[in-house]
Amino acid sequence: GAGGGGGGACNYCHTEFGALAGLEPKMRDNLELTIRAARLTGRPSLETDALKDYIFTETRACLEAAESLAVINLPAEKAIREAVLQGVGRLTCRAAGLV
C-alpha cells in the first residue's frame, strides 16, 4: 500500500495484520517478537536488522519475562532491565538493543 508520514507504528499494523499469515514460520516468529519488543518499549525503531539478527530463544525468554514484569506496572525499560538482571538472555537482549 501507499505509505504516508505515519512512521513505524503503521508499518507494524500492516505487518502484523496483513503479511504475517503468508510468511515462513521462522520469519513470522521473528516479526512477532520484533513487534512485541517495539510495543513493550514504545520504540518502533526496534524493527531493525540488529534485532532480527538476534532473535533466539533467549530473546523470547527476555521479552516474556519483561512483559510479565510490565504487567505489574513496571515501566517497560525497567522491566527489561529486571528481566536481564534475573539472567534471562542478557547477552542476546543487549545485542538486540533491548538494554
Instruction: Report pLDDT digits (tens) over 20-78.
Output: 455 566 666 766 776 777 677 666 555 544 444 444 445 666 677 777 776 666 666 67
Neighbours of 7 (CB within 10 A): 11
Question: H-helix or E-strand containing 64?
Answer: helix 57-71
The total number of residues written for the chain in this structure: 99
**φ, ψ for residue 97, nearest 5 deg:** 80, 15
Q: How far apart are CA 88 and CA 61, in angstroms?
A: 6
- Domain edges within the chain: 25-95
Q: How far apart are CA 2 and CA 73, in angstroms?
A: 37
pTM: 0.35
